[in-house]
Structure 1
Amino acid sequence: MKKFGAMLLLAAVTLAAPAYAAAQDDAEAGAVAAVQALFDAMAARDGDAIRGLLTDGATFVATAETPDGVQVRESTGTEFAASIGQPGPALLERMWEPHVMIEGPIAVVWTPYDFHVDGEFSHCGIDAVSLVRTSDGWKISSIAYTRETENCEPSPLGPPPGD
């Protein structure tokens, strides 16, 4: 009887594993899609769309290493959306090879990126994006990122469109 129970348990785990993996893949894809939606809203300079992708208390933290040490610039999601939502130069942020970690309703997307202003390379770095799964889907609760202007590896995505 113990063997039969062990076989049933093994069968249940074997059958459940693909379903769990598919759900995890869907969750990871959803988290990455939320980050990409932010980049798309930035490119469109759409402050309302940006606000819709963020939690109410979202924060943005930019870091840059300088000869005087690490420079830190913080802003709220509201400030960020208002700034990007104004007319201005064309913005393009691209990510590749995102690493996603999910546990229940929280996720982190850690990804290299490059950033272009009016079609010209501006900087590169790492985005560390924290997300929360809500009834409306994944929402960004914070972004911390490095801002590097030198020693940037060429993007595996190649040159941006129009170059």
Structure 2
Amino acid sequence: MKKTVLSLLLLLTAGSTAAAAQTSASETAAVKKTITTFFDGMRRGDSTMVRGTLAPGAVLHTINTRTGVQLGTEKVAEFLKAVGTPHKEVYDERISFEQVLIDANLASVWTPYQFYVGPKFSHCGYNSFQLVKLAEGWRIVHIIDTRRKDGCK
């Protein structure tokens, strides 16, 4: 009897672990898709596409180190205006997904990047994204990044 109960518990645990891993993989893909869509919108100059990836009340920060460490805040409306205003060169932020952490409706994503204006390298750094899963899907609630011109890959 003890062996039967133990075997049943092991099977239930293995099944729930497999289901959690599958959910995690699909949630990770959904989180990455939101961030990828954000940057695709930037490249296209499509502020509506970018806006669709942001949660209400989203916050954009940059850590500036030109004159000591300073925290800069960019208003979302100004960022969207810059993206959507016609410009000759493509704003091309090339990222890679280094780490994606998810717990329930919260995701934290770490992405190194290189930023180009058209074909010209501008700067590099790291982005840290915080996302929340709302009824309509994963939305970016906070982005903070570093920016530098040297030490880039």
**TM bucket normalised to smaller:** over 0.9
Q: Look up the match of 2:75.
A: 76
Q: Look up the match of 1:135.
A: 135
Query: Separation in 1 of the partners of 2:149 and 2:71?
Result: 15
| SS, match of residue 152 in structure 1 | coil
Query: Separation in 2 of the partners of 1:126 and 1:49?
Result: 22
Paired residues of 1:54 and 1:77 also in contact (CA < 8 A): no
Which is worse superposed, 50-59 or 14-23? 14-23
Q: Look up the match of 2:107.
A: 107
Q: CA deviation at 1:15?
A: 2.1
Query: Separation in 2 of the partners of 1:79 and 1:7?
Result: 59
Paired residues of 1:51 and 1:78 also in contact (CA < 8 A): no
Query: Separation in 2 of the partners of 1:97 and 1:131?
Result: 14
RMSD: 1.2
Letter in 1 for 2:94: R
| SS, match of residue 69 in structure 1 | coil
Q: CA deviation at 1:30?
A: 0.9
Query: Separation in 1 of the partners of 2:102 and 2:96?
Result: 18
Q: CA deviation at 1:16?
A: 2.4
Q: CA deviation at 1:34?
A: 0.6
Superposed structure 1 runs of 4+ greater than 4 Å apart:
none
The two structures have a TM-score, normalised by structure 2, of 0.93
| SS, match of residue 149 in structure 1 | coil
Query: Separation in 1 of the partners of 2:152 and 2:27?
Result: 30
| SS, match of residue 143 in structure 2 | strand
Paired residues of 1:112 and 1:126 also in contact (CA < 8 A): yes
Unaligned regions of 5+ residues in structure 2, if any? none
Paired residues of 1:99 and 1:111 also in contact (CA < 8 A): yes
Which is worse superposed, 29-38 or 88-97? 88-97
Give per-residue Cα distances to partners, 1:55-78, cap 9 Å, x unaligned. 110011011222x31132202322
Q: CA deviation at 1:105?
A: 0.4
Give per-residue Cα distances to partners, 1:126-149, cap 9 Å, x unaligned. 000110111111100010000111
Paired residues of 2:30 and 2:138 also in contact (CA < 8 A): yes
